[in-house]
């Protein structure tokens, strides 16, 4: 079956602009995660959805970052007033039910560059 | 809070040699431990994971890892390196207290010399 997909694969924007990054999880997976991976670093947790609700958004760095999952499937990560420091690869993952032992399946990521 | 330390940001081995990638974690509760591999321009792929039971875990592509609670370690090994093993490897821990997130180490880039 299809894996996790993310669009766009690359996004170049200017400082101060608004961007949206999309994640399409594996069909039937109720848990969805967003991570951010800066150059030379491991992924860092941003937010976790269980169904339509954000169960843990403790990793969002500030109020410029927001994510939604209105129908419990596709999720969109929204970044307002982008800054150069937001440049990173944004990874999305999904798992079947969100259990701690479950495997998280990752998408290929969206590489965001803020000029 | 959980944390993961991967010793060695770069490891280079010869083809056919033993691969050893080190991972130490800190956790206040019994952890669930994962190793992921990332090939260039691809997403992370699970190699193996430890949840409960046998402490020696076998994964894909001939990799295995051993959970050693006394050493708080989960080192990844492969007896004989192949050129296709060249990639970035990440160790991660999921805490047992309800937070669903994975905490990753900084990664180890594995280079295979012919």
∠ CA B66-B106-A29, nearest 5°, is 75
Chain-chain contact of A42 with B49 (C-beta, under 8 angstroms): no
pLDDT value for B97: 66
Count Cβ atoms below 10 Å from residue B106 Cβ, excluding itself: 14
Are residues A30 and B95 in contact, defined by beta-carbon separation less than 8 angstroms? no
Chain-chain contact of A45 with B44 (C-beta, under 8 angstroms): no
How deeply is B79 buried, as exposed, middle or buried, from its count of CB atoms within 10 A (0-12, 13-18, 19+)?
exposed
* pLDDT more than 70, % of chain B: 96
Nearest CA in chain B to A45: B101
Write out residues in chain A with pLDDT < 50, as ranges.
Answer: none
Measured in angstroms, the CA of A57 and the nearest CA of chain B are apart by 10
Chain-chain contact of B100 with A41 (C-beta, under 8 angstroms): no
Chain-chain contact of B42 with A108 (C-beta, under 8 angstroms): yes
Chain A contact for B90, CB < 8 A? yes
Give me the residues of B, 49-88, that contact A with CB < 8 A: 49, 51-52
pLDDT value for A65: 97
pLDDT value for B96: 62
Q: What is the pLDDT of residues B34-88, one digit of tens each?
A: 999 999 878 899 999 998 888 999 999 999 999 999 999 999 999 999 999 999 9
Nearest CA in chain A to B104: A42
* pLDDT more than 90, % of chain B: 75
What is the per-residue burial (b if ≥16 Cβ within 10 Å, else e) of B46-60? bbbbbbeeeeebebe
Lowest mean pLDDT segment, chosen from A97-101, B10-14, B26-30: B26-30
**In terms of Cα–Cα distance, which of B84, B91, B95, B103 is closest to B20?**
B91
Residue of B41, B44, B107, B109 to mutate when probing chain A, most A C-beta within 10 A: B44
Q: Which helix (H) or strand (E) holds B68?
A: strand B64-68
pLDDT value for B27: 79
């Amino acid at each position: 079956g299809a894996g996790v997909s993310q669009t766009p694969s690359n996004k170049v924007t200017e400082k101060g602009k608004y961007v949206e990054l999309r994640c399409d999880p594996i069909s039937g997976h109720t848990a969805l995660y967003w991570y951010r991976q800066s150059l030379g670093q491991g992924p860092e947790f941003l937010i976790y959805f269980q169904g339509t609700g954000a169960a843990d958004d403790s990793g969002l760095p500030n109020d410029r970052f927001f994510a939604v999952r209105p129908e419990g499937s596709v999720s969109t990560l929204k970044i307002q007033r982008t800054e150069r420091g937001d440049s990173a690869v944004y990874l999305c993952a999904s798992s079947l039910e969100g259990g701690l032992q479950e495997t998280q399946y990752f998408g290929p990521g969206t590489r965001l560059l803020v000029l | 809070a959980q944390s993961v330390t991967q010793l060695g940001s770069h490891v280079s081995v010869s083809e056919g040699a033993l691969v050893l990638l080190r991972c130490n974690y800190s956790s206040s509760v019994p952890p669930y431990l994962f190793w992921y591999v990332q090939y260039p321009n691809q997403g992370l792929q699970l190699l193996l994971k430890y949840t409960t039971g046998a402490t020696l875990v076998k994964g894909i592509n001939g990799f295995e890892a051993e959970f050693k609670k006394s050493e708080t370690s989960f080192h990844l090994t492969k007896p004989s390196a192949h050129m296709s093993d060249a990639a970035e490897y990440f160790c991660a821990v999921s805490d047992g207290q309800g937070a669903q997130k994975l905490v990753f180490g900084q990664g180890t880039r594995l280079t295979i010399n012919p």
